Amino acid sequence: MFLLDTCTFLWLGLDQESLSQKAKQLIETCQESLFISSISAFEIARKHSIGKLDLPVPPTEWIEGISEFYGIDTLPISLAIASRAATLPPFHKDPYDRMIIATAIENTMTIVTPDPMIAKYDIKIAW
């Protein structure tokens, strides 16, 4: 199972040239096991609402369209994920990424990310 971090999901929908060849291949071949965290939806909507992210349609519509097109499911933030995110070592300060890391740990997933800070956690990374 693969968890796309927020920038990977954004690049998938807006700038595929920024994706690595391995990330593109995973997305193309693993469509039944691709996920995003619901925190990514929050992060995307938040960035759009404060003018830091331009989308061609409203965030909910954009996220749903990209998810449906690529067969990506969304995982909710559970109590276990929220608790795990709060207690992770402080390598990564970004609360969105901490939730994504905790989601991957709790669900035994590989994170598809270019973020080198995420690799500091004891988790599988693909890029």
What's the average pLDDT block by block, 10 residues per block, for the chain (127 residues)?
98 98 95 95 98 98 97 97 97 95 98 95 95
Report the C-alpha gap between 94 and 117 in whole angstroms: 10
Q: What is the pLDDT of residue 4?
A: 98
What is the Cα–Cα distance from 108 to 123, expressed in whole angstroms? Answer: 8
Contact by Cβ (8 Å): 29, 112? no
Nearest residue to 64 (alpha-carbon basis) of 38, 82, 46, 101? 38
Beta bridge partners of 37: 75
Cβ-contact 29, 67 below 8 angstroms: no
Q: What is the pLDDT of residue 52?
A: 98
Task: Check residue 31 and give its pLDDT.
Answer: 79
Q: Can you give the pLDDT at residue 32?
A: 85
Domains of the chain: 2-126 (3.40.50.1010)
